[in-house]
């Protein structure tokens, strides 16, 4: 497949734009890719486009997100048709398209957590950002300037993703550590946990928080099992670091990836470059050739 890598919908924190740099740290061929914090599975899709892995496992503790991915890959026509129906309703809703969003959000929070409702909320909400209140209900607001991703664009991308992955993926909505138990030698685990800047409080779906100590300790388990892994974790901008480095006791190497000029810095009249940290397990890092415009910072192993 030529051209751009397909994606279903915008999703805050997605590694879609960084995927080409991240893939430079991966083997050209391996058995299976596991994504315990999949979001919209940008890395799985990018790896599949290059046909690097034979099989894939997609997991996210936010089950409605997994419903989108499962439908997109296994039943693309069904998801497209149902999304189109929800999307078109906003143009005939008597109270307007913004109130239509709130109606769908209310239905979602009342239990109609279907793939098409989740997809519509993501397509229309501010910055594609999933937000849940303390009561566990989706509380993100609509972007009032637009109507969300057109079904035609959704259709083209969903069908392309299904072509790449159908019959090669298993799905789950479990605690990320359960996926570690599932991992075997020959697998590659790619982890993109919530960054420390948004992890001041805990949530049973990690939508708000994931403890640093807890996460660091869990990676030790992968080291002990000899499982290859790559972790996207915090970074820096304008000389300021965001969050703590992962412990030096882990058997990995830290790299910085150039994520481009910070949009926040641009608003302030600055041109600060954002760098995102990437931790690569020893077995993979030892086989990496020199990569232009990327910085090897430290050996995590002591």
pLDDT, residue 302, reads 33
| Domains within the chain, CATH numbers bracketed | 70-155 (1.10.1020.10)
- Grade residue 247 by pLDDT with cuts at 50, 70 and 90: very high
* Token code pair at residue 102: 């709130």
Residue 190 has pLDDT above 80, yes or no: yes
**Mean pLDDT throughout 170-190?**
96
Q: Across the chain, what does the average pLDDT equal? A: 87
Residue 236: pLDDT band by 50, 70, 90 thresholds?
confident
Q: Would you place residue 3 in the very low, low, confident or very high pLDDT band (cuts 50, 70, 90)?
A: confident
The pLDDT assigned to 262 comes to 54
> Could you give the CA distance from residue 205 to residue 171 in angstroms, rounded to a whole number?
16
Report which of 74, 168, 177, 83 is spatially closest to residue 123, judged by C-alpha positions.
Answer: 83
Q: How far is residue 228's CA from residue 188's CA, in Å, rounded to a whole number?
A: 5
Helices 63-74, 115-124: axis angle to 10 degrees equals 110
Tell me what the mean pLDDT of segment 277-284 comes to.
Answer: 94
Report the length, in residues, of the chain. 302
Task: HSE, CB side, 13 Å, CA atoms: give it for residue 104.
Answer: 28
Please give the model's pTM, rounded to 2 decimal places.
0.89
């Amino acid at each position: 497949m030529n051209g751009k890598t397909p994606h279903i919908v915008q999703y805050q924190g997605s590694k879609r734009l960084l995927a080409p740099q991240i893939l430079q740290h991966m083997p050209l061929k391996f058995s299976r890719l596991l994504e315990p914090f999949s979001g919209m599975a940008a890395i799985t899709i990018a790896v599949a486009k290059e046909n690097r892995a034979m099989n894939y496992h997609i997991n996210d503790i936010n089950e409605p997100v997994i419903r989108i991915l499962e439908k997109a890959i296994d039943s693309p026509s069904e998801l497209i048709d149902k999304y189109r129906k929800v999307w078109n309703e906003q143009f005939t809703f008597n109270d307007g398209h913004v109130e239509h969003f709130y109606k769908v959000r209310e239905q979602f929070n009342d239990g109609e957590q279907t793939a098409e409702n989740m997809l519509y909320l993501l397509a229309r909400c501010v910055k594609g950002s999933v937000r849940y209140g303390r009561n566990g209900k989706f509380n993100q607001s609509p972007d009032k300037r637009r109507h969300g991703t057109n079904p035609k664009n959704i259709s083209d991308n969903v069908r392309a993703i299904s072509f790449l992955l159908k019959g090669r993926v298993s799905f789950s909505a479990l605690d990320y550590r359960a996926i570690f138990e599932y991992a075997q030698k020959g697998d590659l685990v790619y982890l993109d946990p919530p960054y420390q800047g948004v992890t001041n409080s805990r949530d049973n779906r990690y939508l708000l928080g994931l403890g640093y100590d807890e996460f660091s300790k869990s990676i030790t388990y992968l080291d002990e099992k000899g499982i290859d892994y790559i972790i996207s974790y915090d970074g820096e901008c304008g000389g300021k670091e965001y969050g703590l480095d992962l412990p030096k006791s882990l058997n990995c190497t830290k790299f910085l990836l150039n994520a481009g000029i910070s949009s926040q810095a641009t608003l302030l009249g600055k041109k600060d470059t954002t760098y995102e940290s990437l931790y690569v397990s020893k077995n993979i890092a030892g086989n990496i050739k020199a990569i232009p415009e990327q910085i090897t910072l430290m050996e995590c192993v002591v």
